Amino acid sequence: MILRLTLLLGREAVNVLLDETPAETQRQLIEEVAQVPGVLSVEQARLRRAGANFFADLTLALPRRYTFEHTEDLVEAAKKAVRRVLPQADVVIHTVPRQAKAESIFDRVRAVAARHNVSVHELSARSYLGRLRVEQHLELDETLPLLEAHNFVTAMETEILREVPEVDTVLTHIESEPATIEQPEELDLVDRQIELAMRATAAQIPEIADVHEVEVRRQGEHIYVACHCTLPDEMTMQRVHGVITEFEDRFRKQCPEIDRVTIHPEPATDNSR
């Protein structure tokens, strides 16, 4: 008994001196962090004890499509998971982008765009005669020369073809991203007629409950129109897109002088508050 107690006490003393942490504690910590939604895996976990304090250094694999903001939120959630196991731990977390197992073609295209610090929209894929073509809309600085913008897009398309071998061709619609703050001018009679035309067009589409916050702005010779549009709560986003597109197309036929139309869809429940 004396020898056994001596060995146990001696082992505990040596572990403290060597800053060794129990293997069970490290296992619990890894399991807790791995359960955080969005974490693909815990690639590395270092846990060190100094007296009564613990220091945790983890490397997490996250989906590469995540934005910086999303990654930051996930890191905070992972730190909370660590402190559920070790409440007073000093935690440092590193992240590495990884391809998720269930990543779709669209996810991989967006991942390429994220690496180039740009976002894409109106992303679609079409199959014709066994060949897959991806189409995308991309916004670039409006002050960028065409040659520079085209070279940027070409390099990005080449990377997409390399990253997504299923795709045969990529077609990119380049749009200008505003870099200046517009100064609106006061409404006149013509602008009021544009607003009435928008409301009349919306009334022709049964799914649209109403339009509100209609705004008509002029910037030099250009006319921009924006509004909020109320739609049923249960309508799918696919159908929402179809209704909004139909609304915009009909409105442009009524007012072909409009340069840009922005329609923000809202659920009926939100609009009734």
pLDDT per residue as tens digits for the range 56-110: 899 999 887 777 788 889 999 999 999 998 888 889 999 988 877 667 888 888 8
Whole-number pLDDT of residue 110: 86
Same-domain pairing of 193 and 262 = yes
User: In this structure, is residue 138 part of a structural domain?
Assistant: yes
**Averaged pLDDT score across all residues of the chain:** 83
Does the residue 11 lie in any domain?
Answer: no
CA–CA gap between residue 180 and residue 110 (Å, rounded): 26
d(CA 126, CA 167): 10
- pLDDT, residue 125, reads 87
Report the amino acid identity of residue 155: A
The answer to whether position 93 is within a domain reads: yes
**Does residue 73 fall inside a structural domain?**
yes
What is the average pLDDT across 8-29?
64
d(CA 112, CA 118): 9
Q: What is the pLDDT of residue 180?
A: 55
Same domain? For 114 and 148 the reply is: yes
116 in a structural domain: yes
In b/e form, how buried is each residue of 104-137, taking b as 16+ CB within 10 angstroms? ebbebbbbbbbeeeeebeeeebeeeeeeeebebe
Rounded alpha-carbon distances, angstroms, from residue 268 to 99, 195, 208: 38, 21, 10
Residue 5 has a pLDDT of 75
pLDDT (tens digit per residue) in 186-233: 545 567 888 899 999 999 999 999 998 888 887 777 888 888 999 999
Q: Stretch 25-34: mean pLDDT, rounded?
A: 88
pLDDT tens-place string over residues 121-172: 888 888 877 788 898 988 888 788 888 888 999 999 999 999 888 899 998 9
CATH assignment of the domain containing 160 = 3.30.70.1350
Indicate whether 82 and 110 sit together in one domain. no
Give the least confident one: 17-26, 46-55, 85-94: 17-26
Instruction: Mark whether 142 and 204 lie in a shared domain.
Output: no
231 CB contacts (<8 Å, ≥6 apart)? 207, 208, 209, 240, 243, 265, 266, 267, 268
pLDDT digit string, tens, across residues 163-187: 888 899 998 988 876 655 555 555 4
Asked whether residue 10 is assigned to any structural domain, the reply reads: no
Task: Clarify whether residues 34 and 91 are in a common domain.
Answer: yes
Number of domains in the chain: 3
Single residue among 33, 66, 98 that ends a domain in this structure: 98
Q: Does residue 91 sit in helix, strand or coil?
A: strand
**Nearest partner of 223 among 253, 250, 185, judged by Cα:** 185
- Tell me the three state secondary structure of residue 184: coil
pLDDT score for 18: 42
Does position 10 have pLDDT exceeding 80, yes or no?
no
* Domain final position from 98, 122, 141: 98
Q: Are residues 221 and 254 in the same domain?
A: yes
pLDDT (0 to 100) of residue 21: 60
In which band, very low, low, confident or very high, does the pLDDT at 9 lie, cut at 50, 70 and 90? Answer: low
Range of the domain at 81: 20-98
The verdict on residue 12 lying in a domain is no
The answer as to whether 182 is a domain residue is: no
Q: Based on the domain organization, do 162 and 196 belong to the same domain? A: no
Domain final position from 127, 142, 177: 177
In the three-class reduction of DSSP (H, G, I as helix; E, B as strand; rest coil), residue 218 is classed as: strand
What value does the mean pLDDT take over residues 25-47? 89
Label residue 25 exposed, middle or buried (CB < 10 Å: 0-12, 13-18, 19+). Answer: middle
Indicate whether 217 and 173 sit together in one domain.
no
At 199 the three-state DSSP class reads helix
Query: What's the rounded Cα separation, in Å, for the pair 191 and 215?
Result: 9
Q: Please indicate, yes or no, whether residues 117 and 90 belong to a single structural domain of this protein.
A: no
Residues facing 134 on adjacent strands: 125, 170
196 shares a domain with 158:
no
Average pLDDT over residues 45-50: 82
pLDDT at position 17, please?
A: 42
